[in-house]
Amino acid sequence: MKKIVIVLALAGAAFSAHAHRPWMVPTQTLIESDRETWVTIDGAVSEGLFDVDHMPLRMDGLSVINPDGTTSQAPAPMVGKHRAMVDVQLPKDGTYRFTLAATNVMGSYKLNGETKRFGRGGPSEVPPGATDVKTTTTVQRQDTFVTRNKTSTGALKPVGTGLEMVPVSHPNELHAGEKASFRFLLDGKPLANFPFSMIPGGVKYRGTANEVRLSTDANGEASFTLPAPNMYWLSAAYPANAPRGPGVEQPAKRYSYSATLEILPE
Amino acid sequence: MNLYRTLALTLPLVSSGAMAADLTVKFDLPQLNVAEYHKPYVAIWVERADQSVASTLAVLYDVKKPNNGGEKWVKDLRTWWRKAGRDAQLPIDGVSGATRAAGTQTLSFNGAKYGLDKLPAGDYKLVIEAAREAGGRELVRVPFSWPAKGKLAANAAGKEELGAVSIAVQ
């Protein structure tokens, strides 16, 4: 029994947001150009934000939500040793959202007294006759936002499934010292008193993490003064503050959300 | 007759004194010890208490560059650009002007021409923003109350791209 728990914990660790953080960073968040416009989205997994020193992010299946709200598929990524990258053309003015969403089912089972784990294949990997089947579903979502010339809101509409941040303040109009509001939803419903974090990049040059820990109010909305200019990694998990680590039973379904947001000087 | 003449002379003076005062902005563009120096683009405007733009007074850029080429980089005056410039059509008559050399510069703005006489009474800031190609960008704000009672003088200073800034109304 103890073995199963450890296996589950390890399976959870592989997808948990702590220590190794998955991130996407666009080359620019606001592109002012009348010419052919491209943005490159870098994706990596690393401990320090936004250090390129560990492994590339799996960026297959990157969705592009266009200014008019329609969704298209990003081209296949180029995958390097340390980072992946995707070039995306922005044909029209307005705000684009880039979303990487995935649902993974992992777990373990017992067969002939032996504990085995299953991965991306999900429960279909479980052979007949297996007992003690345990599964953990992780629902992940990552966003970043890029505007060509003029901001728009067609791409910012909530999806209504999983854990998501709804930018009440426009994500490409964030300026240090100004007020901003974000809303968090789980399956389309507001999350009251829900904690989330914003961490600025460049910790290694600074020493201090400068993590900003925030929470939504009773209506599921957080209003706050934007911190110093930087590229920020916003992250949240549901259930919030769930205990993690070896020996801790994981909830059957977990949600994680992250977004890369740029806060500019005034 | 004598009375008429006095009134006729006095009234316009009174109104111009209270309403159409001239605003003078004196600012220092520091001499910089840098590898590559270009004269900075500068925007000067009057800001309301909510930080919106009440009136743009000056935008100094490379106005003589062929095909309005100098306008391309006006957006580097990021704060002015996102609050007013983006929606403006350049060049702006009486507002667009040539860049200035390092040193102390003085610009005067007629209250009536720049809409200052129509500003509701309240607290404002004179904002000056400088952005330099291959360099930095800096903003300096000088607070003042409007209408200016009597003579007004206020000053502030920048750190790198701007030196001392002072304003006077009379």
DSSP conformation class of B119: S
Contact A265 B78 (CB under 8 A): yes
Q: Is B152 on the interface with A (CB under 8 A)?
A: no
| pLDDT, tens digit (0-9, with 9 covering 90-100), for A143-155 | 999 999 999 999 9
Q: Residue A169's Cα: distance from chain center in Å?
A: 19
Question: Residue A125 and residue B59: Cα distance in Å, rounded?
Answer: 67
Q: Rounded to the nearest 5°, which phi and psi values hold at B2?
A: -60, -40
For chain B, say whether A264 makes contact (Cβ under 8 Å).
yes
Residue whose token pair is 């952005």: B131
B141 at A interface, C-beta within 8 A: no
B137 chain-A contacts, CB cut-off 8 A: 265
Q: What would the mean pLDDT of B120-140 be, rounded to a whole number?
A: 96
Which of A3, A9, A19, A2 has its CA nearest to residue A246? A9
Question: Residue A141's Cα: distance from chain center in Å?
Answer: 4
User: Measured between alpha carbons, how far is B31 from B39 in angstroms, rounded to an integer?
Assistant: 10
Q: Are A170 and A153 in contact (CB under 8 A)?
A: yes
3-state helix, strand, coil in chain A (%, to 5): 10, 45, 45
| DSSP code string of A125-161 | GPPTT-EEEEEEEEEEEEEEEEEESS--SGGGS---S
CB contact under 8 A, B79 and A266: yes
Q: Chain A contact for B129, CB < 8 A?
A: no
Record the tokens describing residue A158, joined without a space: 């909530």
Query: A266 in contact with B at a CB cutoff of 8 Å?
Result: yes
B75 contacts A32? CB cut-off 8 A: yes
**Euclidean distance between CA atoms A233 and B29, whole angstroms:** 37
B78 touches chain A (CB under 8 A): yes
pLDDT at A86: 98
Q: How far apart are CA B28 and CA A22, in angstroms?
A: 47
Place of tokens 């003064």: A225
Residues of B in contact with A32 (CB under 8 A): 75
State mean pLDDT over B2-9. 44
User: CB contact, 8 Å: B79 with chain A?
Assistant: yes
- Type of residue numbered A242: A
Adjacent-strand bridge partners of B129: B43, B139
More confident residue, A19 or B136: B136
8 Å CB contact of B139 and A266 = yes
pLDDT digits (tens, 9 = 90+) for B77-109: 999 999 999 999 999 999 999 999 999 999 999
Partners of A173 on chain B (C-beta within 8 Å) are: 82
Q: Which two tokens stand for residue B111?
A: 């209250």
pLDDT at A241 over 80: no
Strand partners, B105: B27
A193-235 confidence digits (pLDDT tens): 999 999 999 998 998 899 999 999 999 999 999 999 999 999 9
pTM beyond cutoff 0.80: yes
Distance from CA of A240 to the nearest CA of B (A): 37
Confidence of residue B167 (pLDDT cuts 50, 70, 90): very high
- Cα A168 from Cα A182, distance rounded (Å): 5
pLDDT tens-digit series, residues A112-135: 888 888 877 777 778 888 888 888
User: Are residues A38 and A89 in contact, defined by beta-carbon separation less than 8 angstroms?
Assistant: yes
Closest-approach residue (CA) in chain B for A178 = B51
Q: Locate A199 and state its tokens.
A: 């961490």
Joined together, the tokens standing for residue A141 give 């979502």
Q: Which of residues 163-182 of A touch B (CB under 8 A)?
A: 173
Closest chain A residue to B87, measured at CA = A150
What pLDDT score was predicted for residue A196?
A: 97
Asked if residues A145 and A94 have their Cβ atoms less than 8 Å apart, the reply is no
Q: Is the pLDDT of residue B11 over 70?
A: no
A264–B78: do the CB atoms touch at under 8 Å?
yes
Is the Cβ of A7 closer than 8 Å to some Cβ of chain B? no
**Across chain A, what does the average pLDDT equal?**
90
Instruction: Give residue B108's pLDDT.
Output: 96
Distance CA A167, CA A155 (A): 11
Residue in B closest to A33 by C-alpha: B72
Q: pLDDT band at A244, cuts 50/70/90? A: low
Residues A152-159, mean pLDDT to the nearest whole number: 97
A-B C-beta contacts closer than 8 Å: 8
What is the C-alpha separation between B115 and B46, in angstroms, rounded? 10
Q: What is the mean pLDDT of residues A10-36?
A: 76
With residues binned 3-state (H G I as helix, E B as strand, rest as coil), the percentages for chain B, rounded to 5, are 25, 40, 40
Closest of A239, A230, A232, A227 to residue A258, by C-alpha: A232
